A and B are shown apart, each in its own frame.
Chain A
Amino acid sequence: MSTGFLHQSSTITRRDLLRERRSGEVLWVTLPFGAIALLLVPLAIGTDAPTLQRIGPGMFWVIVMLFGVLIAIRQTNSETTAQRDLVALTGLDPAAIYVGKAFASFLLLLVFEVVLGAVTIALYDVSPSGWLVLPFVLVLAAAGLSLLGTLAAGIVATGQSATALVPLLVAPLSVPLLLGATQALEAIRLGRSSLSWVLLMTIVVLLLAVAGVLSARPLQETA
């Protein structure tokens, strides 16, 4: 019996979220480390409130991008060849698998961003500006990172240097997302339009989604 694309994607998403719930890799390992990284900066440079308020948003995005990459690429090592074979032989559309995996990462990244956002507000005494734009920026950053990480994980799925290669691939490609996120909020703080930066992030997300869907089949075959 064949199933539809959305059903197939949601099956993969549910599997990944269930595995995460059991392993706690993101919520109990990566997230606390991200929070500790945010805590280390005030300890290193002192508790000068104006300085912390000034660098807080930037630190938030740097930590989100660095640790977000770890969340997005966690799947590189989480599937064995036998498990990939099993999934391939279920007959699931590789594009649906890509979308399902990316959506699971997206949800985890959103939780990661929200928790770290709260930590940033508490530690850096930051008053978030641009309440209307901020949710869009958070969603776009999470979507971009999850699509990018899932694509990169697929590219190097069985390579011997997978762990080393993925950050090298993902980190430079995440720069437009980091740039878009920081500059969109900076533009709001300065009273300028953030539209062009939000647009940049949207284009990056769309390009990654198209690239991931189109390359899903060839990547499954070479894995």
Chain B
Amino acid sequence: MSAPSTLVDLEKVSVRAGAVRILEDVSLVVSPGDAVGIFGSNGAGKTTLLRLIATLQPYSDGVCSILGVDSSTAARYDVRHQIGYVGHTPGLYRELTLLENLAFVADARGLDSALAAEALGDVGLAGAADRRVDHCSHGMQRRAEFARILMTEPQLLLLDEPHSALDANAVDLVDALVHRTLERGGAAVLVSHDRARVKTLSTRTHEIKDGMLR
């Protein structure tokens, strides 16, 4: 399948939970090379928008095309592996070590498991690879999530509050992740409270308020 010219194409997409409006008539186009920053206060709909782009959030109205496929169809299963999503809660298994967590993803994706150790080394966690997740700080867990992104090299990078709980070195990792994704011809969408930091990374920014994107 050839690379789509538009990685994200939302046309008047709405998301509702019962009577509650979470996103309303959201339109957004993200092309290769774009790094889109989205700002908004708590409850504005930032995380829902990111999950929508990740094909994880069902929607009620509009058209949502992600990586060239209509995300309401089963074709979304074929493109999900090209999406790298880091939410504000780490998706690591706390009983497993950092290395085992990454090796699981590598195995699931059919990647060489040696890449897991390599990626942990790239984010400065080589010495903690065999440490269980429940013995790691939140910042270390975030780094491990970034290592997963490095390992899987997604076409579409989605970061939710990427700079929270990070020290200065790890903040630079976020920048590197975004730049590497763009260099590969991919795109990134970042939602954050940290306007100053995200603005320096973004090629354009939007504001989300009460579920509406401006």
Binding site for B on A (CB under 8 A): 1-3, 7-8, 11, 14-15, 18-19, 22-23, 80-83, 85-94, 217, 221-222
Contacts and interface: CB of A to CB of B under 8 A. Distances in A.
Interface of B: 51, 54, 56, 58, 74, 77-78, 80-81, 83-85, 87, 89-93, 95-96, 100, 104-105, 107-111, 132
A222 B91 CA distance: 18
Given A2-B110, A11-B107, A89 B54 contact: yes
Contact of A3 (B56, B104, B108, B132): B108
Given A80-B89, A82-B90, A90 B96 contact: no
A11 B108 contact: yes
A7 to B, nearest CB: 7
Given A90-B109, A93-B77, A15 B91 contact: no
Given A19-B93, A86-B91, A91-B80, A11 B104 contact: yes
B93 A1 contact: no
Contacts, number: 74
Q: Which of A3, A7, A88 has the most chain B CB within a 10 Å cutoff?
A: A88
A90 B92 CA distance: 13
The main secondary structure of chain A at its interface with chain B is: helix
A83 B164 CA distance: 19
A15 B81 contact: no
A90 B81 contact: yes
**List of 5 A-B pairs having minimum Cβ-Cβ separation, nearest first:** A91-B81, A86-B91, A82-B91, A22-B95, A1-B110
A153 B78 CA distance: 25
A14 B107 CA distance: 10
A7 B104 CA distance: 12
A156 B53 CA distance: 24
